[in-house]
Amino acid sequence: MVKLKTDLSALSEREEEALLKILTDPVRWGEVFLSNRDGSARHFWDHQKKDLRCKSKNIIHQDGRDVGKSVCIVTDMLHYAFTTKGGSGLVAAPHQGHLDTLIDEFEFQVGENPDLTTAIAINKSGHSAITRKPYFKAQFISGTVIHFRPGGDYGKAFRSLHVDRVWIDEAAWLPEQAWRAVRQCLNAGGRFRLYSNPNGLRDTTYYRLTKEKKRWKIFHWPSSFNPNWTEDREQELLDFYGGRDTPGFQHEVLGEHGRPSYGAFNHEQFKLCQKVYDGYRAVSISGEELSDCDSEDEIRDRLDLLMCLASEDGLFWIGADTGYTNDPSEVTVWKENEIGTMRLIFRLHAEHVPYPALADIIALIDRYYDPRGIGIDNGGNGLSVAQDLKSLDKFRGQDFESKVRGFDFGGATVIGYDDDTKPVRKRTKEYMTSLINRALAKRKAIFPIDDIDIENEFTTHTYTLQNGRVVYSKGNDHIVDSTRCAFLRREVEKLDGLDPHYEEVYVAPMATNAIF
C-alpha cells in the first residue's frame, strides 16, 4: 500500500517513478487506494477507465442505470482531493437524497483505507475536518476542500461557492435556476463533469449540453455496458417497462433521450407544499424481519411492533401501492382537516413482503386510524390484497367491504353525468394525477419537508404523449401511486352521491391497446 506520507527522499528512482504513475493516473490510484464493499480491491470496467482518464474540460454523460456512474464521481473526486494542493470542488445533485448515496460511498472509502483517513485534515478541536451541517464538507491535508450540496429549485446552496471542479449527479433533473447558480460557482479554467440518465425533457440545460459536441465530451453508456448484463436481465426490463420503444426503457436502460417528456407535477407548487410539522413518521419493513415468524399471529405482532402506531382522532384516508413480492410497496396515511387540506402523517415502505402480510399491514393501520376509505392499486399484488381484506374471516368487523376500493390504473373513472344522465368518464391514472395537481396548486396537499424519498419521486415523475395518450414514467413512482390511490379514494366518496342510480363510482376496463 502506498502511503501519502512516504519520505520521497528515501525512494529509489524506480520507486519514485512507480509512485508518480499511481498518483497521476486516477485509475491506478483508485485500484491502489479504493476497495469494494466486500473488502476486495477496486477494479474498474473499461468504460469507467475511459471516463476517469479523460482530460476534457467539460464532460457530460447520457447513460442507462447500473453502469457505475457513482463510482466514477467518487473516485475522480477523491483522487483530485488526494493529489491536488489547495484545490476546491463541489459535488452537486438536485436533491439531498441523490447526494446521500455519494456521501455514503465517500465515507466508506475514507473509513476503509488508513491512507485516506489520514488524508483528511484535523481541525482545532482535534477531530477530522468533516462538517455535516448545514451541508456536508470535507477538508484534506492537501488543503483541498470538497463541498456536497443539493441544488433544490433555485440553487441557493451554490451561490456562496467558488470552486475549480464541479461534479453533478442526476444532472438531467437539476432545475434551470439551479443551473444558473452552479455555473457561477465554477472558477475560470475550472472543469465540469456531469452524470445522468436522460429523462426526455427537451427544454433543459442538460439536454442542450448533450447536443454541444464541440465544447463537451459526451459519454453514452447504455445499461448493457455493465459486464454482468445478460439476456435475461434485458428481457426482465423489457417486460417491466413495456417494450424497447417505451420512454422508461429508452431513458433508464438505453440512455437515450427518447420521446419528449414533461413533468407530471409542478416542482415549484410541490416545494411550496413541503412543510415542517410534528407527527409525521416514515417506517421501513423488510421481508427478512418477518422470516422467523411461525404463524399469522406472530406476523401481526411483529408488524405491530415494527410500525409502533398510536391511535389518533380525525378524518383519514389511506393509499396503497402493493407491488409483487420482489417489488417495493408503499402505504400512505393522510389526515384531512376541516377545510379539506390533506396532510401526510404516516408512510410505510415495505420490501420483499408477501401480499398476505401486506393485507395484515393495512388491517393494522386501519385499526389505529379507522380511515373513511382505503384505495389500493389493483396492479401487482393489489387485487389479491383487496380481496383478502374484503373476504377473509380474520378481517371481519373492520368494514373493508365498503372502505376498500381497488383501482385499475388502466381503466376509466366516472366523474359525473351529462344532462341525459349518461356517465362522463376520464382515464383513471390521468384523473388521479389531476386531483393531486389541483391540491398542489391550492396548497391543500401537505408533505413533510424532511422526507427526501417523497421529493425525489414527485420531482422526477414524468409523462410522454403517445398516439394522443398520456404515458407516465415507471419505476420510481411507488409513493406517487400510493398518493394517487388515497386522493382518488377520497374523491369517489363524493362522486358516489352524484346520481341515485349508481351506488358507487364505476371503474371500467380500458381497451386492450391502452398504454399506461
What tens digit of pLDDT does each residue of 20-69 get?
Answer: 888 899 999 999 999 999 989 999 999 999 999 999 999 999 999 999 99
What the block records as the C-alpha cell of 105 is 460511498
Are the CB atoms for 71 and 45 separated by under 8 Å?
no
Closest by CA position to 233, among listed 473, 477, 64: 64
Q: Do 159 and 225 fall into the same domain? A: yes
Closest by CA position to 384, among listed 413, 366, 404: 404
Structural domain boundaries, residue 499: 267-509
- What is the residue whose three cell numbers read 454523460? 61
DSSP letter (8 states) at residue 128: B
CATH number for 171: 3.40.50.300
Q: Do 178 and 276 fall into the same domain? A: no
Domain-located, residue 35: no
Q: Do 290 and 145 fall into the same domain? A: no
Domain-located, residue 446: yes
Are the CB atoms for 413 and 426 separated by under 8 Å?
yes
The 507-509 sheet, strands edge to edge: 423-427, 411-417, 507-509
Which residue among 209, 233, 257 closes a domain? 233
Query: Rounded to an integer, what distance in angstroms lies between the CA atom of residue 403 and that of residue 127?
Result: 56
Whole-structure pTM value: 0.79
Can you list the residues of the chain whose pLDDT is less than 70?
A: 1-12, 325, 419-420, 496-516
Q: Do 214 and 313 fall into the same domain? A: no
Give the total number of structural domains in the chain: 2
Which residue among 189, 214, 233 closes a domain? 233
Which residue among 218, 233, 248 closes a domain? 233
CA 437, distance to chain mean position in Å, is 20
Q: Do 345 and 459 fall into the same domain? A: yes
Are the CB atoms for 52 and 30 separated by under 8 Å?
yes
pLDDT for 10: 63
Query: Rounded to an integer, what distance in angstroms lies between the CA atom of residue 352 and that of residue 289?
Result: 10
Domain-located, residue 337: yes
Sorted by sequence, the CB contacts under 8 Å of residue 320 that are 6+ apart come out as 329, 330, 331, 332, 358, 362, 374, 375, 376, 377, 382, 385, 482, 485
Q: Do 118 and 176 fall into the same domain? A: yes
CATH number for 357: 3.30.420.240
What the block records as the C-alpha cell of 451 is 422526507
Q: Do 169 and 315 fall into the same domain? A: no
Q: Do 224 and 95 fall into the same domain? A: yes
Domain-located, residue 287: yes
Sorted by sequence, the CB contacts under 8 Å of residue 463 that are 6+ apart come out as 261, 262, 264, 470, 471, 472, 473
Q: Do 228 and 313 fall into the same domain? A: no
Which stretches within 113-245 are classed as H helix?
114-119, 176-185, 205-209, 231-241
Query: Rounded to an integer, what distance in angstroms lies between the CA atom of residue 271 and that of residue 455?
Result: 8
What the block records as the C-alpha cell of 511 is 381497451
pLDDT for 150: 93
Domain-located, residue 480: yes
**Residue 493 burial by CB count (10 A; 0-12/13-18/19+): exposed, middle or buried?**
middle
Query: Rounded to an integer, what distance in angstroms lies between the CA atom of residue 196 and that of residue 206?
Result: 9
Q: Do 271 and 226 fall into the same domain? A: no
pLDDT for 64: 96
- What is the residue whose three cell numbers read 465540469? 192
Domain-located, residue 223: yes
Domain-located, residue 131: yes
Sorted by sequence, the CB contacts under 8 Å of residue 411 that are 6+ apart come out as 427, 428, 507, 508, 509, 510
**Residue 512 burial by CB count (10 A; 0-12/13-18/19+): exposed, middle or buried?**
exposed
Which uninterrupted H or E stretch holds 250? helix 247-252
Domain-located, residue 157: yes
Q: Do 278 and 352 fall into the same domain? A: yes
Q: Do 211 and 296 fall into the same domain? A: no
The 462-466 sheet, strands edge to edge: 261-263, 462-466, 469-472
Tell me what the pLDDT averaged over the chain comes to: 89
Query: Rounded to an integer, what distance in angstroms lies between the CA atom of residue 171 and that of residue 205?
Result: 9
pLDDT tens digits for range 272-309: 999 999 999 999 999 899 988 888 889 989 999 999 98
pLDDT for 413: 85
With helix as H, strand as E and coil as C, how does 404-456 read?
EEEECCCEEEEEEECCCCCEEEEEHHHHHHHHHHHHHHCCCEEEECCCHHHHH
